[in-house]
Amino acid sequence: MATWRTTTFICLQWALQCVVCRDVSLPPGPLYRVAGFPLSLPCTVSEYEGSRTQDFEWFLYREDAGGRQIGVISTRDKGFPYAPFQSRVRSGEVRVERDSGDSARLVVQRLRPEDQGRYECYTPTTDSRYQGNYSASVVVKVIPDTLQISHSRALSGQPLAEGSELQLTCSAAVRSKQHTHVSVTFAVISFGRELAVVPGQSGGYERRYGDGEISLEKSRGNAEGDQDLYVMKMAAVSPGDSGAYVCEAAQWILDPEGVWKRIAQRTMDLGKLNVQPLADTLTVATAPRGEVSLAAGLPSP
């Protein structure tokens, strides 16, 4: 009986002590990101004591470095970065962006293949007692950039009469061992990351899409790796459709936390559309000219 009471007392004492236990969290991994594009790692600390503005330090453990720790960046020590990151930190390519006093993110503006590895976020203690976890880590995989985009039909720059049909094309593809999706956007309408057609939110495009005035069709490439063709059609353009048009292709991946992340993006200029109002294309002529005499009972010419 005494042993049971002692054990219960110890457990209760431990639970009371850990009512406030520091906890550091990162998104679950692995995270797949594309070389040449940004990496953003949000790190959050909770259940801590002391200052509401906490410090953060990031380390990288490369797969080919035998577990050796590489200092990336710190919010409290400018001399913290190791040699591989010193110049990148100075230029701002690698930096820390604060979301709040107890939440900050590591940002790598342009990922390199050698940035692959396990990232650790560590928070120096401000607690009266050392309890809880003071760091968290996540594995980041850097994959090659294979996103391709092209077009076969662009705007000529010549005025297009109001009410005319407009057709623009854009081709896109990605070659990846990971399961990723490609979205293609023309601003007025897009083929989204969840493989559904989505009309633009402004300019009345939702109504026009519902009325069948705007459409987007996708044709798959003939072979694996071939670019898929996306054809955007507007049945009757209006002066409000004038402006610059681009095609944007993006590569998306579903992260382990269940959120879609854009990991690569490219934009191609399709030219400018100049819609000539119908009133500007109409001319009124009177005929015949000069003096006309009509005999009684005769119709006018």
Give pLDDT, residue 8.
44
Instruction: Please write the tens of the pLDDT for every residue from 248-257.
Output: 999 999 999 9
Q: Which ranges of 95-247 would DSSP assign to H, the alpha helix? A: 205-210
Name the β-bridge partners of 161.
276
CA 217 to chain centre: 23
Give pLDDT, residue 287.
53
- Helix H or strand E encompassing 171: strand 166-173
SS3 of residue 251 by DSSP: strand
Give pLDDT, residue 6.
47
Instruction: Please write the tens of the pLDDT for every residue from 227-269.
Output: 889 999 999 999 988 999 999 999 999 999 999 999 999 999 9
Give pLDDT, residue 295.
54
Q: Which two tokens stand for residue 4?
A: 């049971």
User: What distance in Å separates the CA atoms of residue 34 and residue 112, rounded to the nearest whole number?
Assistant: 9
- Tally of residues, the chain: 301
SS3 of residue 269 by DSSP: strand
Instruction: Quote the DSSP letter at residue 74.
Output: E
Give pLDDT, residue 220.
79
∠ CA 215-219-220, rounded to 5°: 150
Mean pLDDT over the full length of the chain: 85
- Of 62, 56, 55, 53, the closest CA to residue 84 belongs to 62
Domains for the chain: give ranges and CATH numbers: 21-143 (2.60.40.10), 148-280 (2.60.40.10)
Give pLDDT, residue 165.
93
Cβ neighbours for 241, distance < 8 A, ≥ 6 positions apart? 166, 188, 203, 234, 273, 275
Give pLDDT, residue 267.
94
**CA dihedral for 270, 276, 278, 283, sign (positive or negative):** negative
- Which class for 223: exposed (0-12), middle (13-18), buried (19 or more C-beta within 10 A)? exposed
Q: Which ranges of the chain would DSSP assign to H, the alpha helix? A: 2-17, 83-91, 205-210, 278-281
User: What distance in Å separates the CA atoms of residue 34 and residue 176, rounded to the nearest whole number?
Assistant: 10
Per-residue pLDDT 10s for the chain (301 aa) are 445 544 444 444 444 454 568 889 999 999 999 999 999 999 999 888 888 899 999 999 998 877 789 999 999 999 999 999 999 999 999 999 999 998 999 999 999 999 999 999 999 887 777 777 888 999 999 999 999 999 877 788 789 999 999 999 999 999 989 999 999 999 888 988 888 898 887 778 889 999 999 999 988 765 555 788 999 999 999 998 899 999 999 999 999 999 999 999 999 999 999 999 987 665 555 555 555 554 555 454 4
Give pLDDT, residue 15.
42
SS3 of residue 252 by DSSP: strand
